[in-house]
Every structure is written in structure tokens, then in C-alpha cells.
Amino acid sequence: MRAPRAFDKPTAMRISAILRSSAAAILSCGGFWSLPALAAGPPAADWHRLSDPTGREGVEARFEGIKDGRYLLRRRNDAKLFEVNPGLLTKSDRLWLDAAAKRLESELAKLNPASGHPLFSGTPFEVRQATEIATALGLPQESKTRHGASWRLYQKAGASYRLFGAMPYSLALYADAGGCATSLSAVFANKGDFGSKAGEAEKHFEGGNETTEEALEKAISKDDKALEDAIRQVLGEPRVQRFGEGKSRRTLRRWDWNGHSVLLSREPGEYVSLMIVPVDLAEADGRTARTADRTLRERLKADVRRDANGDVYLTQIPMVNQGPKGYCVPATFERALRTMGIESDMYLLAMVGGTGIGGGTSVGKLLDAVRSQVYSKGRRTRDVPLKDLRVRDVKSYLDEGIPVMWTMMAVDEYGKITNENTKARKTVTDWAAHAASLKTLSAPFAKKEKPNENHHICLIVGYNEATDEFAVSDSWGAAFERRWVPAKVASWASQGSIFLILP
């Protein structure tokens, strides 16, 4: 047997420091979840004690891929991920790691065909660029802010797109500020999309949903079985655990593979969901860390823009497209929660908010349902009844960078005025004349009978005191990120209340 490779003393000390130092770790690109030591981890056979050239007891680690010619390893004692140049390891360690790399390649050759896409790679989920995954899955970008990004793909019944043998109605990918993937969420048969005949955006009020509870449950069972069978054939038997926070906590099945946790959840009468997250998040049972109050407040204020014409508006509100269904309430709440540094998902919010088949959620009920989660992150909720909606009612919140959730009636007349006004603003040179024109346009709405159809909720994200306008943002995609409506027209369409998540 060949003797272990000998290193001179300075080199041996440097290698020992690299293997042990947290400074050498590649930390999770995210910022919302904690990084605990792996409580349950893989079998002991997956761990290997690396030789320490200084003679100290070696560090236990497991192989988690190759990146730019370096081994990616995770230390057992603190779950930190780090990279090592193969030349710094002994021959026996390299042989063990090369064998692990060969196994990984073999598993990868089975896993991607099972998923139907080049979804997985030889690097752990927490250090993968989200754009790589979005490209592999064919996901269009939904939103991009300084604080994160998302991609989302919707499918209609009958589409050929498959993920692990079943058709996802919604497939969403989220990334952090650094562009690294934080979670992939696929929702299959669910009470919002299944049987939906509704259109997108403003057309979602039309068409409705044509299904029954029995048909939905049958579809949920079918998709759940297809997904579990496909994953089990490659990754074996799952473990069962609880996951999530507050009223969104649920039981799911979990498989771990190379820094990825694959989580399958079935909620009877609600949905089938498949998530892929970093192992750290799964080990924390889905509990995420709290953003410091000062950090959040500073970030919110920094995201407020003030233009020379008097426009004041929030620039970094994430978009969530509710899709072809009546999910305006959970989608809008997701946007408000994410703005406040609280991870959320509109499908989970629809479940805890008691959304009906096809849509329709009580704002008050959902607000009550999320309060415990909001409070646990150091945030507050507030609901404010308003007889009339005026700029002064929302100005103080918006000046602090806080989006305002607003219940209203998205009737055709409101939409037409909002769209025309938003388009006209692009060519305005005389803002005083613009204000006078809006005053004349809005005058009849003070006495006009209020509408009572197309119940909706959106965000108020800006204002202009001089022109008496609101900037509104609907959860309908990028084209509806910011539109401008005269305040008196908005007050006419208002249902009489605003809701807030406060820092």
C-alpha cells in the first residue's frame, strides 16, 4: 500500500485550516431561512473522515458535487458547504470522492429522465443559479427586484408538459438577491386551476370553474400517485415530516438528494404540491429566519422613488401572477408578505384562507389566518375601514415603503379609465393641465352609484398629491405592475377598506 501523500508543514497547516474554517464555507445564497446543523442527515455510510495532514482528527464530510474542477463537500459538524481543490487531498480521499462522483453521475442519469427535464445538476440546490433551472424547465420570468426574482409557467388542462409524470398547472421558481435558487414550487391538480374556464388578468372574472369536489379529489389522487411512483423509483422510500409555519404547516413526504430536498404534499380537496428546496430549509421544517426590523425598514424606505412631477411610488414590489382563476386575494397577500421579508405561497394562502373552488377568498379570514405567522416574524397587521379613499389615507404608509392592500370593484369603466390614463401619462408635459383634466373627468364619480360586481383586491403602490392620483398594481403579470388611476375614480370603485402588513 502506498503511503499517504506528504505535505510540508506550512501546506499541511493551510489544508487543515481550509477543511475546518467557516471562512472557507460557501454559505447559502438565501437570506430568509436559518442554517442549522443537519439533525437527521444521510446514513453514516455517506460520510467520510478526511485525512488531516497535521495529524489532528480529520473532518467528517460528504460529497455534494463538483464545481469548476473542485470538490463540493458538506461538513457534518455544522452542515456548511465548502469547496476543496483535489490536489490538497490525499490519494485515499480522492479515490473515495471520485467514487462518490461516479455514483452521483449514475443517479443523475436516472433522475433527470424521471423528471422529464434536465432539472438536476451535480451541485447542491442552495448554490445553483436560478436562471440555469429556469432555462432547464422553460420558465418565463415573472418578477425581478433588487431583493429577489421569480419565474412562473401556467399550463391549461390537456397540455403535454410533464414533471415527474404529471402536469403542473403552475410551476414557480424563486431566487434570492444574488440570483441563487431558493425554492421550486410545482402545483398539480388544485381547486383553483383544475376545471378553470377563466381567462388571464382582467378576463379572469369571466368563464368561472366547471368542476366538482369529487372530480377534483380524483385528479388530486391521480397526480399524487404518479408523482410519488416516479420519484420513489429513483430515490427510494420517502421520510414523512411536518413542514411550514402557522396554519400553513402540513405533513409531506421528503426525499434528499445531493443538497436537494424533494417535498411532496397532498392536501385533500386542495392541491398536490411538489417543492424542491435546499436541505437546510427542509431540516428547519420550513421555518424561516426573521429579517431584522431596522434592516427591513431601511430597505423599504430605500425602495421609494420620488419623481420631479410629484409621483411617489414603490419600486421593488415582487409580482405574483394569479393566473386564470380568482386568486387575487392570496396572490396579493403573497406580494405584501414577501415585501415584508416573509416567505409565502398563494396556493398555501388560498388553503388557509378557505378559498373556494375556482377562487373567492374572504380578506378578513385570510388576514386572521396569517396573523400568527406575521407576528412570529416581528410584523403587524392592520385593517382600516374607509368611507372614501383619499391620497392622505395612504400617503404615510407609502412614504415608508409599505404597500397597501385595497379591496375594490374591478369593473370595466374603472379599467378603461385606468388604462387610458396610464397611457396618456407617458406623453404629459404640462402636469398642471393634466391635473385639471383629471379633475373634470372625475367630478361625475362623486355622485355616481357605486358598482357591486367584479370584487377584487390589488395593491396601492404610489400616489401623486398634485394630480390626485393613485398608482395601483394588480397581481396579473408585468403589464399590470403599475397603473395610475384618478383618486376619485378609485374611491368610487372602492369597497371601503384597506389592509396592511406593517414592519
Domain-located, residue 95: yes
Could you tell me where the beta strands, DSSP code E, fall in 229-379? 239-243, 250-257, 260-267, 271-278, 304-306, 312-314
CA distance 185 to 149: 14
Q: How wide is the angle at C-alpha 31 spanned by C-alphas 30 and 33, nearest 5°?
A: 95
223-268 pLDDT, tens per residue?
999 999 999 999 999 999 999 988 889 999 999 998 899 999 999 9
pLDDT value of residue 372: 86
Same domain, 273 and 167: yes
**How many domains would you assign to the chain?**
3
Domain-located, residue 347: yes
> Is 477's pLDDT higher than 90?
yes
Domain-located, residue 1: no
> Is 25's pLDDT higher than 90?
no
What range defines the domain where residue 22 resides? 9-115
pLDDT value of residue 181: 94
23: pLDDT confidence band, cut at 50, 70 and 90?
very low
Same domain, 65 and 189: no
Instruction: Please report, for the domain that includes residue 425, its CATH number.
Output: 3.90.70.10
For residue 205, what is its C-alpha cell?
372574472
* End-to-end C-alpha distance for the chain, whole angstroms: 64
Distances 47 to 64, 76, 196 between C-alpha atoms, Å: 11, 8, 48
Domain-located, residue 3: no
Domain boundary among 56, 82, 115: 115
Mean pLDDT of 159-174: 97
pLDDT value of residue 49: 86
Same domain, 312 and 269: no
Domain-located, residue 227: yes
Same domain, 307 and 456: yes
Same domain, 45 and 100: yes
Same domain, 333 and 387: yes
pLDDT value of residue 359: 87
Same domain, 409 and 436: yes
105-149 pLDDT, tens per residue?
899 999 999 999 999 988 888 788 999 999 999 999 999 999 999
Same domain, 213 and 326: no
Domain-located, residue 486: yes
> Is 27's pLDDT higher than 50?
no
Same domain, 57 and 204: no
Same domain, 50 and 161: no
Same domain, 234 and 370: no
Domain boundary among 233, 248, 283: 283
Domain-located, residue 2: no
2: pLDDT confidence band, cut at 50, 70 and 90?
very low
